[in-house]
Chains A and B, each alone.
Chain A
Amino acid sequence: MIDPMTVLAILAMAAVTYLTRIGGYVVLRNRTLSPRATAVMEAAPGCVLISVIAPDFVSRNPADLAALAVTVLAATRLSMLPTVVIGIASAGVLRLVIG
């Protein structure tokens, strides 16, 4: 049920992940940033978000690319829940239709 090496690996993952979570806060908490550094920090969240979903923009599945286009359009006009529902529905339907 519980293997010691597995538990050790999991604890290593958990420790590394928690350090990444507190790292940015601990290091930058009491710093006054230059305007340039502030510009970088302001761009950072969007850069991370778009990087995480970048693979969806180069999907080899035409149905998923079309669904992504529909979702981008929805996201520019609608709030969170309708956009998510439209995204899931368009991906499901387009996969059935286009394959």
Chain B
Amino acid sequence: MSVSEIALAEGPTANRRGAEFRRGLAASTPMLLGIIPYALVLGAQAAQRGLSVVEVPLMTGLNFAGGSEFAAIQLWSSPPHILLIAAITLLVNSRHFLMGAALAPFINHLPKRQVFPALFLMCDESWAVGLADARHRAATGMRPAFSLAYYLGAALPIYLAWVAFTTCGAALGPVLGDVGKYGFAMAFPAVFLVLLRGMWKGFAAARPWLVSLVVAALTYLVVPGAWYVAAGALSGLVAAWFLAGET
């Protein structure tokens, strides 16, 4: 096979990947609106707690899980209590187990050298759009249902924005004041609500969600800390288990 033949053979695939990547980029844009203000706030709070402009991107670039970083910063002391911070990180991020499990059937066909780096970029947003897209493609008969290029197109801007804007927040912290007061906080629930609408399969299938919502909300009101995510998610799963036995 000559070079031009190889180019011809690979051309359409490369084009398709490029188009899929751009489709992912487009999907990430509305989410950046919600992520950037959060990133600035986290960076500013981390700077207040004594983390330097080098340590903040080290944390947000290696850990890349906003909820656990907010929680860790609240608990930060000098020197930091490493076991406590690791335990809180595990608690806040335990939802990743469920997320990875939900994604597993869709990424099983991919080689591990692609899966393990791709999972590093799995955050609430990239997972949700990646899974929603895979389910949508599966429903329309497309194989493979999971588009890695789409997922990376959605995940990479989120990662880069998170690291870049937490660093900006750490550098500019004292100037910014309270970014949360302008209404940007609503971007996060807005994204999630649209994703839930996409997963909607009728009221009966959504009953575990209702259980999760009620239990998570009550736990949030009664128990301090991030327990509400674990409590809400687990009670919804228990409800799904019992409801599945009905039929």
Q: Does B156 contact A (CB under 8 A)?
A: no
A49 in complex: contacting residue of B82, B128, B184, B245, CB < 8 Å: B128
| Contact between A20 and B93, CB atoms less than 8 A apart | yes
Apart from the given pairs A24-B104, A52-B95, 7 other A-B contacts in the complex at a CB distance below 8 Å: A9-B80, A13-B85, A18-B119, A21-B93, A45-B102, A71-B193, A88-B183
Known contacts A84-B33, A87-B187, A95-B183; A53/B192 CB under 8 A:
yes
Q: Does A2 contact B (CB under 8 A)?
A: yes
**Chain B residues in the interface with A (C-beta under 8 A):** 27, 29-31, 33-34, 51-55, 58-59, 62-65, 67-69, 72, 79-80, 82, 85-86, 89-90, 93-104, 107-108, 115-116, 119-120, 122, 124, 128, 131, 181-197, 199, 205-206, 208-209, 211-213, 215-217, 220-221, 228-229, 231-233, 236-237, 239-241, 243-245
User: A18-47 interface mask toward B, CB cutoff 8 Å, 1 = contact, 0 = none?
Assistant: 101111111111000001100111111111
| Contact between B59 and A10, CB atoms less than 8 A apart | yes
Residue of A nearest to B123 (CB): A21
CA gap between A16 and B58 in the complex, in Å: 15
Interface residues on A, range: 35 or more
Residue of B nearest to A14 (CB): B62
Known contacts A6-B80, A18-B120; A51/B233 CB under 8 A:
yes
| Contact between B236 and A43, CB atoms less than 8 A apart | yes
Pick 8 A–B contacts, CB within 8 A, sort by A: A2-B52, A14-B63, A29-B104, A48-B95, A55-B217, A68-B186, A87-B187, A91-B184
Residue of B nearest to A36 (CB): B244
**Chain A residues in the interface with B (C-beta under 8 A):** 1-3, 5-14, 16-18, 20-29, 35-36, 39-58, 64, 67-68, 71-72, 74-76, 78-81, 83-93, 95
| Contact between B131 and A24, CB atoms less than 8 A apart | no
Residue of B nearest to A68 (CB): B189
A87 in complex: contacting residue of B101, B186, B232, CB < 8 Å: B186
CA gap between A46 and B116 in the complex, in Å: 24
Known contacts A14-B62, A44-B101, A75-B190; A5/B184 CB under 8 A:
no
A75 in complex: contacting residue of B67, B89, B194, B237, CB < 8 Å: B194
B240 in complex: contacting residue of A26, A40, A90, CB < 8 Å: A40
CA gap between A78 and B194 in the complex, in Å: 8
